[in-house]
Each structure stands twice: as C-alpha cells, then as structure tokens.
C-alpha cells in the first residue's frame, strides 16, 4: 500500500508492507545522517488480535540488516553494533536508535516481530535505507570572481537544513546557506556544519594551493579501555613559521593560571609521567597517554602559535572516553545443583573495529566463545570475568556465582 500526503508543500511517502492485518509501517523509507551522530529509525506494526480462536501475543521484536543461513542477524548481537544500539518499543510501535554512526552502518534496516501464533512472525520488507555521510567543503574557483564554497554531503540532507560556516575555526555569523562566496585570503581555512549538528563539522580546507591555518583531527571520538594507552593525532599547517605548539584539554581549565589561556597538558600534574608527544612526520602531532583512568575522559585540542597568529578554534577536537569492562547478568535460571546464566560483557562505549571477546571461568579461558554474551551453567564458587581479545590485561572485575 502506498499513500501520498502533502504537508506544507513537502511530499511525504509512507510505505506500508502488510496483508491480512499483518503489517509494518516505517515512518521514513530513506534517511540521510551525519557520520558520528545519532539516528532513530521508527515503525508501527499491526497483527490480527485472534487467529483460529487463539489470542495473539507478541513474544519478540527485532531489527536486522543481514541474514546468516536465511536467518536474520539481530543488531543487538552483531559485534559491529556493540553498545551502539538501543530499542525503544511500546505496544505496536518500535524505534531503533544507533549512536556514533559509521559509514559502514549504511544499509537497509528491517523490523521483524514474532508472535505466539503458528508461523506468526512478520518482517517489514523492504525496510528503511540509511545512508551515513560526512560533510566536505568543495571549492569552485571562478575566473575574475571570489571562490565559491559548497558544503557537500554524499546523500541528501533535509531540504530546510541551515548551515554554519567557519573561518579559521571561528564561526561566521552571517552565513546560513550550503554555499558561500569567500573574500579570498590564501592563509584562511574554511569548514562547515549543519545547524543543530555543530559537533560534526567538515574538515577545514585551504582555498588556495598554499598552506593555510588549520588543524585536522584524525578521530572525532575514541573509546579506550581503562589501564591501556591511547594515541590522539592531528595534522596541522600554517602559512607562517610555527613557533610553539602543544596539546591541552578544556576540562582542565580550572588548573590554568588564566581560564582563557590553555596550558600544555604535559605540564599538568594529573598527566605527569603519562604523556608523550610524538612527531613522526612534518605537520603531524600525536598525543600518547598511558595508564588511562576514567578521569582522563575529556576533549583534547591541539594549539599552535606563530609570530603573528594563534590557532584558537571553536571547532570540536577529539573526545576520549575511557571505559572499564563489567560483567552484567542478563538472565539467570536457578536449578537444584547449579545456575544457568546469561551474561554480557558491558562497556560505556565501544572501541573501534570488529570486536572479539575472551571469557574466563575460574581463571581459565572459555573456549569457543568470542562474543559479548556468555551462556552456560555456573556452580557455587565459580568466578567469571571478560576481556577484549588482545587486551586481556584490561579485563573486567570478576563476578561470583
């Protein structure tokens, strides 16, 4: 069933998949979202209240994007979405929330509900196509005219989006459209963002072919394990000779002599002996922090100064979140001599990459389990813990049966 609705001159398309009172209706069939942001995908669903004299009850609601052996791989158990997926479901409606979006999340998302009726499951197909994009500033040089800048995305953002432009990291108050004609200065860099999503701007670009004033962070956000080490990197350039440069964290401003004058992180007592700045190549700086603690969770900025200029950007830098693993109990069934347990290895954020887990029972590695969930029988006195594969030294505290 296809219905067209005109609201304020905007054409909305609602697609309903269903037959014989079984159906799924998605609120949108295509969504364009910014990389590193959060997206919500919603639907409502219907089913007959009774079939052959039996009342219908919904036993399970799931979202998925791929199949394994003709069976859907549920997002909650997919390691690519570890700790980034939430369901918010009520009677006959369900919303999927995905945080920290990655370009690899671009896919078709489908909703499935399972009932107590024989063969009584239903999948809304086709589903919702999600495209994840980042912003890029494209420069068009015109003869005898100032360059024109365009805030470009690989998919179509909402038509009425308002844009924010930055010159050398500082917001330009008068510009709100996706295009911008600049007063040319070869030393300036330019970047853009969508209003309401200022935490996800484009990388700054130089308008000319010469070096300009800019800093580009390698990662917008990093999740790291407590006790481990992390590298936070950026590239930087200036059309003048750089006289000084250092890393700082605004969250440490209470320690500075002047709150408006950032101070070198390597001189902060909290980081003494744990900070190293590496310059493996010209124009690239890496801040290495070792023996991480949860209090190191903060935003980290790079700053440089020349004889006549100081990089002082309002653009977001790299946000570090330090997490400790914990074993959480999802479900337990108590028997006379033992307990059947379903456990989850939980963290407040998800380190990048495809994750494999290691489970330990009474200090011994449990073979054949590399997911964040553990199911098995435990006995009085058993001690269970978990870790990320390759980071076994930074495992969770043990829990007892």
CATH number at residue 381: 2.60.40.10
> Does 199 lie in the same domain as 188?
yes
Angstrom distance (rounded) from CA 209 to CA 202? 19
Q: Does residue 7 fall inside a structural domain?
A: no
Q: Does residue 246 fall inside a structural domain?
A: yes
Collect contacts of 85-91 with beta carbons under 8 A, ≥24 apart: 87/61, 87/63, 89/61
Q: pLDDT category, 358, cuts 50, 70, 90? A: very high
Tell me the average pLDDT across 280-299. Answer: 94
pLDDT at 401: 62
Q: Which sign does the torsion angle of CA 213, 217, 220, 224 carry?
A: negative
Domain boundary among 87, 118, 133: 133
Asked if the model's pLDDT at residue 71 lies above 80, the reply is no
Q: Does residue 55 fall inside a structural domain?
A: yes
From 263-272, 281-290, 312-321, 333-342, the region with the lowest mean pLDDT: 333-342
User: 3-state DSSP call for residue 62?
Assistant: strand
Q: Does residue 331 fall inside a structural domain?
A: yes
> Does 139 lie in the same domain as 128?
no
Name the β-bridge partners of 364. Answer: 361
Structure tokens, 360: 């330990």
> Does 129 lie in the same domain as 30?
yes
Tell me the average pLDDT across 240-252. Answer: 93
Structure confidence by residue, pLDDT tens digits, 29-63: 999 999 989 999 999 999 999 888 899 999 999 99
The phi, psi pair for 107, rounded to 5°, reads: -175, 180
> Does 334 lie in the same domain as 306?
no
Domain boundary among 133, 168, 190: 133
Q: How far is CA 213 from the centre of its chain?
A: 28
Taking a C-beta distance cutoff of 8 angstroms, is the pair 307, 240 a contact? yes
Domain boundary among 180, 206, 232: 206
Quote the mean pLDDT of the chain.
Answer: 87
Q: Does residue 5 fall inside a structural domain?
A: no
pLDDT at 59: 92
- DSSP letters for 218-276: S-SEEEEETTS-EEEEEEEE-SS-EEEEEEE-GGGGGGSSSTTS---GGG-GGGTTTEE
% of the chain exceeding 70 in pLDDT: 94
> Does 120 lie in the same domain as 35?
yes
> Does 124 lie in the same domain as 30?
yes
Q: Does residue 266 fall inside a structural domain?
A: yes
pTM, two decimal places: 0.79
User: Using the 8-state DSSP alphabet, how is residue 195 labeled?
Assistant: T
> Does 234 lie in the same domain as 201?
no
> Does 197 lie in the same domain as 261?
no
Structure confidence by residue, pLDDT tens digits, 100-145: 899 999 999 999 999 999 988 899 999 999 999 999 999 998 787 8
Report the number of distinct structural domains present in the chain: 4
From 71-80, 121-130, 296-305, 308-317, the region with the lowest mean pLDDT: 71-80
Angstrom distance (rounded) from CA 156 to CA 133? 9
> Does 140 lie in the same domain as 129?
no
Angstrom distance (rounded) from CA 83 to CA 98? 9
> Does 307 lie in the same domain as 274?
yes
pLDDT at 20: 57
Angstrom distance (rounded) from CA 30 to CA 66? 17
Asked if the model's pLDDT at residue 6 lies above 50, the reply is no
Tell me the average pLDDT across 294-317. Answer: 92
Q: Does residue 177 fall inside a structural domain?
A: yes
Q: Does residue 174 fall inside a structural domain?
A: yes
> Does 99 lie in the same domain as 52?
yes
Q: Domain range holding 338?
A: 326-400
> Does 340 lie in the same domain as 316?
no
Q: pLDDT category, 353, cuts 50, 70, 90? A: low
């Amino acid at each position: 069933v296809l219905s067209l609705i005109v609201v304020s001159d905007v054409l909305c398309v609602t697609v309903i998949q269903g037959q014989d009172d079984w159906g799924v209706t998605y609120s949108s069939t295509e969504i364009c979202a910014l990389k590193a942001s959060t997206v919500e995908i919603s639907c409502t669903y219907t089913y007959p209240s009774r079939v052959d004299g039996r009342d219908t009850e919904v036993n399970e609601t799931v979202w998925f994007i791929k199949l394994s052996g003709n069976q859907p791989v549920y997002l909650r158990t997919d390691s690519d979405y570890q700790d980034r997926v939430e369901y918010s479901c009520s009677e006959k409606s369900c919303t999927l929330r995905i945080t920290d979006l990655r370009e690899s999340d671009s896919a078709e998302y489908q909703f499935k509900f399972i009932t107590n009726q024989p063969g009584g499951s239903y999948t809304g197909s086709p589903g919702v196509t999600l495209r994840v994009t980042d912003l890029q500033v494209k420069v068009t040089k015109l003869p005898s005219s100032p360059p024109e800048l365009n805030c470009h995305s690989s998919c179509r953002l909402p038509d009425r989006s308002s844009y924010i432009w930055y010159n050398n990291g500082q917001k330009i108050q008068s510009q709100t459209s996706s295009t911008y004609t600049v007063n040319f200065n070869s030393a300036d860099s330019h970047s853009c963002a969508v209003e309401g999503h200022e935490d996800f701007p484009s990388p700054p670009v130089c308008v000319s072919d010469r070096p300009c004033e800019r800093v580009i962070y390698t990662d917008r956000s990093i999740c790291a394990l407590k006790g481990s080490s992390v590298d936070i990197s950026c590239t930087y350039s200036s059309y003048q000779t750089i006289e000084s440069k250092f890393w700082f964290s605004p969250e440490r401003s209470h320690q500075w002599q002047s709150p408006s004058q950032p101070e070198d992180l390597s001189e902060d007592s909290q980081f003494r002996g744990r900070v190293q700045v590496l310059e493996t190549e010209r124009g690239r700086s890496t801040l290495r922090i070792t023996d991480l603690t949860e209090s190191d969770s903060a935003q980290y900025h790079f700053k440089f100064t020349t004889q006549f200029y100081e990089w002082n950007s309002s653009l977001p830098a790299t946000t570090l979140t330090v997490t400790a693993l914990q074993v959480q109990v999802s479900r337990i069934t108590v028997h006379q001599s033992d307990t059947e347990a379903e456990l989850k290895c939980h963290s407040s954020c998800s380190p990048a990459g495809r994750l494999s887990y290691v489970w330990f029972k009474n200090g011994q590695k449990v073979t054949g389990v590399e997911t964040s969930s553990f199911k098995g029988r435990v006995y009085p006195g058993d001690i269970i813990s978990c870790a990320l594969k390759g980071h076994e030294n930074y495992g969770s505290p043990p829990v007892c049966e």
